[in-house]
Amino acid sequence: MFVRRIAVIGSGYVGLTTGACLASLGHRVVCADVDERKVARLSGGEVPILEPGLPDLVAQGLAAGRLKFVVGAAAAVADAEVVFLCVPTPMGAGGAADLSAVEAVAAEVHALLPAGCVVVNKSTVPVGTAARTAQLLGRPDVAVVSNPEFLREGSAVEDFLNPDRIVVGCDAQDAAERVAALYARLGAPTVLTDAASAEMVKYAANCFLAMKLSYVNAIAELCERFGADVLDVTEGIGYDRRIGQAFLQPGPGWGGSCLPKDTHALLQVCAAADFDFSLLQASLDTNTHQQHRMVAKVRDAVGGSLAGQRIGLLGLTFKAGTDDLRDSPALTVAALLAAEGADLIGYDPGVPAAVPGMTDDLQVTDDPLKVASGAAALVVLTEWPEFRLLDWGQLAELVQRRVVIDTRNLLDADVLRRVGFEVRGIGRRATRALTTF
């Protein structure tokens, strides 16, 4: 295997995982970030995000001298053979991807890139961004490659080292092959294509996942109306290999830093191209509907009005295993509950205290018992496994009304029923059929 000198610009979720994993594959990696404090912490082996396996990989890379952290892109690219752009592409005006960070890096490094190096775009960017980046760099000797990432927060290291596929796109075949070779040791199926197709893969994948979840959430609502059980239904459809069991859990709506942003961005470019992607728009509308439906369930459970009712929230992050609150459906549901006058208190194992951006009406505690104290209803919004292990007997003594709205179908309803709780799930039959074979 060729060992390459790699620069990674941006040391957030994607950049840090990419840098640490590439170093673990034997490459020599310099990760850059604009945040001096973050660089200092990372250089000392301190990983500022909750990501299983990442602290070990960072420590190993630092100890082996294969991983380094520096401030600013300019300091990283000097002798790089491959430069990864892993900067944020947040949702900008009207839902379009905001490419200002990509543009700023291009402006900073264009004159510093070594002759013949390859620039790789890992951020999710609209189709055509590789071509635009090449234009901004103005370096005919530097190829721009699109190599989208498919990392899930909470399992990013595992996803990087055991990928379903590697996608590499460039209009110059040799540059694409050079980037694909970085991952050779992983033995994953590799799609070599042009830059526009690689960029499209990322949007097509994330939007498909969003659609799949909205579909499941709609099926869950139908199950409630027809007395069916969504867990049996999804198991039944999931055995069809064309559908698969993954990504079939109903919930309070999908969120996070990628699916909502990418769905909006694709719809935005569709609108600009005069293409009516009503299927995708419907997935987004179904997601909004799902969040409102969760609020209706809570309202219903407390007797028809949320005004002045104490509601305890279990889970604030957009999914379990992360401390990330970006576009968290839990926070959207919280804001909707607050808008109807609910008095909210929340607990999340990954979020010890309130952070800026949360609704002011939400008090955050690090004690799940405080969430239960005097609550008219408890609402599970994130699927943290530890919620199953709470002392539900003790919680039952503290609440004002023994009802749990379990928007993740996480809890063992039988255990809770034994201590007097009523459990209202998503798409669940009220009582499970007792017949066993």
Please give the positions annotated as active site. 258
Question: Is 346 in contact with 363 (CB distance < 8 Å)?
Answer: yes
Near ligand UDX by CB under 6 A: residue from 31, 151, 331, 342: 151
Closer to ligand UDX at the Cβ: 245 or 278? 245
Q: Which of residues 379-398 bind ligand UDX (CB under 6 A)?
A: none
Q: Report angle CA 183, 198, 2 to the nearest 5 degrees.
A: 20
CA distance 38 to 29: 17
Using rule CB under 6 A, residue 257 touches ligand UDX? yes
Near ligand UDX by CB under 6 A: residue from 33, 51, 81, 149: 149
Near ligand UDX by CB under 6 A: residue from 71, 78, 114, 247: 247
Residue with tokens 């500022």: 48
Mask 96-135, x = binds ligand UDX (CB under 6 A)? ----------------------------------------
CA distance 198 to 127: 8
Minimum Å gap between C-beta 149 and ligand UDX is 6
Q: Which of residues 45-64 bind ligand UDX (CB under 6 A)?
A: none
Tokens of residue 403, six digits? 């009802």
Minimum Å gap between C-beta 347 and ligand UDX is 18
- The runs of H, that is alpha helices, within 11-53 are 13-24, 36-43
Minimum Å gap between C-beta 70 and ligand UDX is 26
Question: Is 311 in contact with 342 (CB distance < 8 Å)?
Answer: yes
What number of chain residues touch ligand UDX (CB under 6 A)? Answer: 21
Q: Which stretch binds ligand UDX (CB under 6 A): 82-90, 145-153, 393-401, 413-421?
A: 145-153
CA nearest 369: which of 390, 400, 350?
Answer: 390
Closer to ligand UDX at the Cβ: 248 or 306? 248
- The sheet that has 310-314: what strands, in order across it? 362-365, 343-347, 310-314, 377-380, 403-406, 422-424
Closer to ligand UDX at the Cβ: 98 or 108? 98
Q: Which stretch binds ligand UDX (CB under 6 A): 177-185, 249-257, 283-291, 429-437?
A: 249-257
CA distance 192 to 69: 30
Residue 52 CB neighbours (<10 A)? 13
- The runs of H, that is alpha helices, within 86-194 are 100-109, 129-137, 156-161, 173-182
Residue with tokens 């799902």: 290
Using rule CB under 6 A, residue 251 touches ligand UDX? yes
What's the half-sphere exposure (Cβ side, CA atoms, 13 Å) at 402? 15
Mask 5-44, x = binds ligand UDX (CB under 6 A)? ----------------------------------------
Near ligand UDX by CB under 6 A: residue from 213, 378, 405, 413: 213
Point out which residues pair with 26 in neighbouring strands: none
- The runs of H, that is alpha helices, within 239-347 are 259-272, 278-301, 329-339
Near ligand UDX by CB under 6 A: residue from 69, 150, 384, 387: 150
Q: Which stretch binds ligand UDX (CB under 6 A): 20-28, 252-260, 295-303, 413-421?
A: 252-260
Near ligand UDX by CB under 6 A: residue from 249, 268, 332, 409: 249
Closer to ligand UDX at the Cβ: 244 or 393? 244
Using rule CB under 6 A, residue 67 touches ligand UDX? no
- The sheet that has 166-169: what strands, in order across it? 67-71, 28-33, 5-9, 82-85, 118-121, 143-146, 166-169, 190-193
Coil vs helix vs strand at 403: strand
Minimum Å gap between C-beta 322 and ligand UDX is 7
Minimum Å gap between C-beta 52 and ligand UDX is 13
Coil vs helix vs strand at 375: coil
Near ligand UDX by CB under 6 A: residue from 30, 166, 209, 380: 209
Mask 298-327, x = binds ligand UDX (CB under 6 A)? --------------------xx--------
Closer to ligand UDX at the Cβ: 309 or 407? 407
Minimum Å gap between C-beta 317 and ligand UDX is 9
Closer to ligand UDX at the Cβ: 254 or 384? 254
Question: Is 416 in contact with 378 (CB distance < 8 Å)?
Answer: no
Contacts of 85 (CB under 8 A, 6+ apart): 9, 10, 102, 105, 119, 120, 121, 122, 123, 133
Contacts to ligand UDX by CB under 6 A: 149-153, 206, 209, 213, 247-249, 251, 254-259, 318-319, 329
